[in-house]
Amino acid sequence: MFQVASYETYEDGQEIFKEGTYGDWIYLIDEGAVEIFKTVDDQKVVVGVLPEGEILGELAYIAKIPRTASARAVGHTVIGIIDRNFFDQEFNKLSADFQKMIKMVAVRLKNATETICRSKINAD
């Protein structure tokens, strides 16, 4: 469904992007699956495994923040890189209010994910 500019292939365990780095491409899982994980207090915490059809990397794009988690391929995985020109044009046309609203949602998701990861560590 998403307009994809190009495709990349990853093998099991290969890193797609790393938490804390700068980069704001948005990816679509075309084939395979992607594990999203964070490092909290030096411990790896899995946020979830996204299946085919899901997108990743959208928080950094929307909120203009560093990658909030790391992503790695689970098995042989094909990732579509979503056409950014198209998204940028749309994003830049949005009013400051609308941009602020979707950024707030993105930041709330980032915070909620951190809360979940911390509680997972504390439960261990």
Residues that bind a second copy (CB under 8 A): 1-3, 26, 54-55, 58-59, 62, 82, 86-87, 90-91, 93-98, 100-102, 104-106, 108-109, 112-113, 115-116, 119, 123
Question: What are the residues whose beta carbons fall under 8 Å from the beta carbon of 56, sequence distance 6 or more?
Answer: 16, 26, 27, 29, 34, 36, 50, 71
Instruction: Tell me the closest approach of the beta carbon of residue 112 to a second copy, in angstroms.
Output: 4
Segment (H or E) for 77 = strand 70-82
Nearer CB in complex with a second copy: 4/14: 4
Q: Do residues 109 and 59 make contact, with C-beta atoms less than 8 angstroms apart?
A: yes
- Residue with smaller CB distance to a second copy, 10 or 27: 27
* Residue (13 or 46) nearer to a second copy, CB: 46
Q: Which tokens go with 124?
A: 């261990």
Taking the complex as a whole, the smallest distance from the CB of residue 11 to a second copy amounts, in Å, to: 26
Least Å distance, CB 92 to a second copy, is: 12
Q: Which is nearer to a second copy, 59 or 71 (CB)?
A: 59
Q: Which of 30, 22, 38, 23 is nearest to 5 (CA)?
A: 30
- Residue 61 makes CB contacts below 8 A (sequence gap 6+) with 24, 25, 26, 87
Tell me the closest approach of the beta carbon of residue 39 to a second copy, in angstroms.
Answer: 18
